[in-house]
Structure 1
Amino acid sequence: MSKEFREFLRKVGSGTHTSKSLTRQEAETATTMMLQGVATPAQIGAFMIAHRIKRPTSEELAGMLDAYKLLGAKVDAIASGKKVLVLGSPYDGRSKTAPVSPVTAIVLAAAGIPVLMHGGDRMPTKEGLPFMEIWQALGLNWQDLSIEQVQQNLETHLLGFVYLPKHFPLAQSIVPYRDQIGKRPPFATLELMWSPYQGKQMIVSGFVHPPTETNIREAFALHDIAEFATVKGWEGSVDLARSRTAIIGITRGDRFERLTLSARNYGFTPEDPAIGDASEIAAKILSALKAEPSEYLNSVLWNCGFYLWLYGLHSEIEEAIAHAREIISSGTAWQKLEYLRG
């Protein structure tokens, strides 16, 4: 048993009236001790559930992010110096709506925007459809790539995927605790924030609850991360819905902009495509890349248009949507997938 970790546990787990938050340094140390197995299984499980009940502060999340930056996978900067768009979606996947992030990333890469994503396998407690199963269904067997090969994909094809079990096994080692405690721990929020990329970037973090967005913004400020966006997307992802208004926060230096976007205002009907298994989603993606009309393609165009605009390729979202449509209809996006398949 770690006596040092026991003090952290006592601090966060003392109850509603007497528990205290950790300092940034304490949160970093506690996270490092969990990742490296210095804390015992009983201590790790107890900390996760106590911290969830207490709710993490932005300072604690900043400290946890310090540990992830220190111990996690690191993707070197690409030679072009282009800003990389890092998409942070929940690792426990999707169970209601069809993900569009993978095809959005392909289209953005075809437009010359480098995109880095990250995730794992099916994750407790939701056990939703993860990105890796979709990549595999598309013929992209990225689960065995080295981190250097991920960087090479990002460098050459402008799209990379960091796979938790392969590239950050220390974080993968604490995944089973999620199943055992039956709840998402604060690590689930951390995964929305973490970026393995070491160069110029813009992080996009999905969220569900407004307090989570506030914590993300404040923790990023503590890390001097000056360019990022938060998206209240499908199931906490960075995918913009069409069935409801998208709530988005954009931070660029000292400037913060709040956006509320309705797909109806851009000519889309308010429908969201339903979830399927990996092969069904892959079929939807292939159909969309062939420009075959569907509600899934409409969601792809809506999301691609937003992200082309967010990155700065267009001053108006309408122009960005038209650009996305051209990338797909011209076959450029399909060709990008073929390049990725090798």
Structure 2
Amino acid sequence: MIDLLKEVARGKRGARDLNYAEALHAAESILGLTATPAQIGAFLIAERIKMESVEELEAFVAVCRKYARRESQQQGQGLDCAGPYDGRTKSFAATFPTAFLLSAAGLPVTLHGSASLPPKWGVTLLDIIREAGIGAADLTPAASSTAARDSGVMVVDAEQWCPPLGAIRSIREEIGMRTVFNTAEKLVDYSGSPYIVFGIYHNTVFDRLARLLIKLGYQKALIVQGTEGSEDLYIDRPTRVYTIAGGEFHLDIINPEALGLDTQVPEMNWNPRQQLLTAEAVLQGGGHMAFYNQTLLNGAARLKLTGLADSLEEGMYICKDLLDQGAAWKVYLKWKQSLLGCEAAALGHS
């Protein structure tokens, strides 16, 4: 590990990218905890300064996947929604209700996250779920898999499914900045999904991430420069996206105004409770129009990506009907009841 550190930490001009084999060794040393905490911290900071190459990212994803539990149970039709593990501080997590909407449309969905991380320290997927009465003990891999079979929605607690990510949490918290793991942890692909929607913060990483997703073998992908670096399209302005298919990628602009969905977003005090209440209102066909429309737009874009809609307009009409007729809400209740039922069953056998 010391020899690898010497290569990536020579300064802005002297540092070089590791080749794939070297990066694999570094990732194994970190996730296997054979490197010391000081070495891990130094390596992550040096990579942050140098900026990770596509080969380095690919290697770190490969080692994360090696240590993770992964289940291919979506019959090759699923969508992975890869949002920021550091959460939200000032925006609605539209991907949460969108997952149940997409499942109602026949598209299995995987969501994943962890307890909040730097640099944002925002409200995370797991924080929102906890407000629904579902804790870590309810969200075991076995329970999550059962709920996915029952509802079509898989929610993964990443540190239960990939324990080494939990083992290095304290180091990441002490560093307090983005590291290679902020990208790699989002690409573990717990359900073997052929499709992915991936959120980024800066447009400077579009090209690098597009080349990485092609190397990882996704059938189709959508990279979104979304709200707070998430995979959620904006509803009050156009969103820059890269669409990836057939080994090629191109820039698109998705403009909600062109679909008649452009809506001013109200100022909100976002906390886990407010996120859950807003999502549940949308899933019942109501709530503030900005968040209802944002869910429609994100659902439509994902149906189009996966071929379940030929256009954003068609996807929007499909999603609106599913929301207004209560189909998405029924999927949400089925998912929630499955997880809580798993807990009750476990208690009954103890």
TM over 0.5: yes
Cα contact 2:54–2:211 (8 A) shared by 1 = yes
Alignment correspondent of 1:50: 46
SS at match of 1:77: coil
Indicate whether 1:118 and 2:112 are aligned.
yes
Identity %: 26
1:42 shift after superposition: 0.5
1:155 shift after superposition: 2.5
Could you say if the C-alpha distance between residues 266 and 137 of structure 1 is closer, same or farther in structure 2, counting changes exceeding 3 Å?
same
Alignment correspondent of 2:150: 156
* Equivalent-residue separation in structure 1 for 2:21 and 2:217 (angstroms): 16
Cα contact 1:304–1:324 (8 A) shared by 2 = yes
Indicate whether 1:333 and 2:328 are aligned.
yes
TM, length-normalised to structure 2: 0.90
Superposition pairs of residues 66-215 of structure 1, within 5 angstroms: 66-78=62-74, 81-141=75-135, 143-198=137-192, 200-215=193-208
What do residues 114-173 of structure 1 show as CA deviations (whole Å, max 9, x unaligned)?
000111011123110000111122344465433233233222311001102322120112
The equivalent position to 2:303 in structure 1, one of 305, 308, 315, is 308
What RMSD, in angstroms, separates the aligned Cα atoms of the two structures? 1.8
What do residues 19-63 of structure 1 show as CA deviations (whole Å, max 9, x unaligned)?
111111111111111111100000011111111001001111111
Give the counterpart letter for 1:250 in structure 2. T
* Equivalent-residue separation in structure 1 for 2:283 and 2:217 (angstroms): 38
1:95 shift after superposition: 0.8
Give the counterpart letter for 1:314 in structure 2. A
Alignment correspondent of 1:237: 230
* Equivalent-residue separation in structure 2 for 1:153 and 1:296 (angstroms): 26
Could you say if the C-alpha distance between residues 335 and 85 of structure 1 is closer, same or farther in structure 2, counting changes exceeding 3 Å?
same
* Equivalent-residue separation in structure 2 for 1:17 and 1:309 (angstroms): 44
SS at match of 1:90: coil
* Equivalent-residue separation in structure 2 for 1:21 and 1:254 (angstroms): 24
Range with greater deviation from structure 2 (138-147 or 237-246): 138-147
- Matched positions, count: 335
Indicate whether 1:23 and 2:19 are aligned.
yes
What do residues 225-248 of structure 1 show as CA deviations (whole Å, max 9, x unaligned)?
342221111111110002221111
Alignment correspondent of 2:293: 298
What do residues 235-285 of structure 1 show as CA deviations (whole Å, max 9, x unaligned)?
111100022211111212234342101111111234235451111111111
1:318 shift after superposition: 1.3
Unaligned runs of at least 5 residues, structure 2: 338-350
* Equivalent-residue separation in structure 2 for 1:230 and 1:97 (angstroms): 18
TM, length-normalised to structure 1: 0.92
